Amino acid sequence: MLDDKKIFESLSNSFGITGEEEGVITWIQQTITPFVDEFKITPMGNLIATKKGLNQNHPTLMISTHVDEIGCVVSSILPGGFLRVEPRGGVDPKILPSQEMVIITDTEKLTAVFAMIPPHLIKPEEKGKVCGYDQLILDTGLPEEEVKQKIRIGCPVIFKGRFTPLLNGRVSGKTFDNRASAMVSILLLQELSVVKHDWDIQCVFSTQEEVGCKGAETAANFINPKIAIACDATFGEQPDITEFDGYKLGEGVPVGIGPNFTRQITTDILKAGIDEAIKTVLEPIAHPGGTDAAPIQVANMGIPTALLSIPVRYMHAPTETLDMKDIKNTVKLLLAYIRKLDQPYLEGLL
């Protein structure tokens, strides 16, 4: 049996900036090998892990969880050895001053920090203003010549982040969006290795979600499953959210409702939760987009699709926070739904 927290810590700390996910994909493949019947790496870099079911017709449930992380890339080397960067994915520049980062070079990982002007030296007219990427500077501490030897334009830059156990079963760390859902698929495959199930389950660890859900789109066209469930992070309750309160950590699995999601599938997932005493909450989403569910729904001739979410506080920040119970309860909910998937269920979809 996997040690949940140790596995999640390694998964969170793995490198996989959007477009360069090979490191985390390799780590996941090695971790789930004992539980899986087949693997495939697609041209987009997705990992498709298949656990075969008992039904010889091989109806397929696809579960998509993206593994790419946001970050930056080196865009120029300045006099003195300082660096400029550009974002890769949704990185708000206002969170970057004084943040510790890791530059991934061809041979090593280098720690760096974003420069910050001391408040004593800020001009009065500049106080309160947010720096853009044209003003942010990354400092490795190395002299210019050594920087030029070690670092090339295009080197990825990611949050350093530390995985930290908190109180009340909660943890903090980097890249919980969406390594939390990838953790769900890892634990689900472990459970399915000892649970009989009728349908084939194909867990897609998808790439490039943060720049347009490209991995999931291509994977859905390749697999063409009967049903698909995307799993992603959603906004966890925190005191500074103004539009809405967010979803409470550890108090129910958010299930998407809206035009992106097939009513029958959503209803059956909610019913599975009731049958197994797994608490769920509804997550209204008016417009498709932002998760793997959007491109999956319209792949090929259209795929019945649902979305499960894990509440994450401080999303897209260097350090995010979640409740481990939400990961475990999402696994339980998926297992409860998978048990419903038999031949009569398939015939009802046709």
Q: Look up the CATH number of the domain holding residue 82.
A: 2.40.30.40
pLDDT category at 114 given cuts 50, 70, 90 is very high
- Is the pLDDT assigned to residue 130 strictly greater than 90? no
The average pLDDT across 207-222 equals 96
CATH number for the domain including 198?
3.40.630.10
Query: Cα(73)–Cα(320) distance, rounded to whole angstroms?
Result: 21
Question: Do 40 and 154 fall within a single domain?
Answer: no
Is the pLDDT at 283 greater than 80? The verdict is yes
Please tell me whether residues 277 and 247 are part of one structural domain. Answer: yes
User: Which range, of 130-139, 151-160, 187-196, averages the lowest pLDDT?
Assistant: 130-139
Q: Tell me the C-alpha distance between 101 and 106, whole Å.
A: 16
Q: Considering its fold, how many domains does the chain have in total?
A: 2
If asked whether residues 188 and 271 sit together in one domain, one would say yes
pLDDT at res. 120: 61
Mean pLDDT of the chain, nearest integer: 94
Average pLDDT over residues 18-39: 97
pLDDT, tens only, 65-103 = 999 999 999 999 999 999 999 999 999 999 999 999 999
Q: Are residues 122 and 246 in the same domain?
A: no
pLDDT at 22 over 90: yes
pTM passes above 0.85: yes
Task: Look at residue 287 in the predicted model and tell me its pLDDT.
Answer: 84
**Which pLDDT value is given to residue 252?**
98
Do 110 and 195 reside in the same domain of the chain?
A: no
pLDDT attached to residue 333: 98
Same domain, residue pair 143 and 187: no
Rounded to an integer, what distance in angstroms lies between the CA atom of residue 215 and that of residue 67? 10
Domain identity same for 120 and 188: no
The mean pLDDT of 305-334, rounded to a whole number, is 97
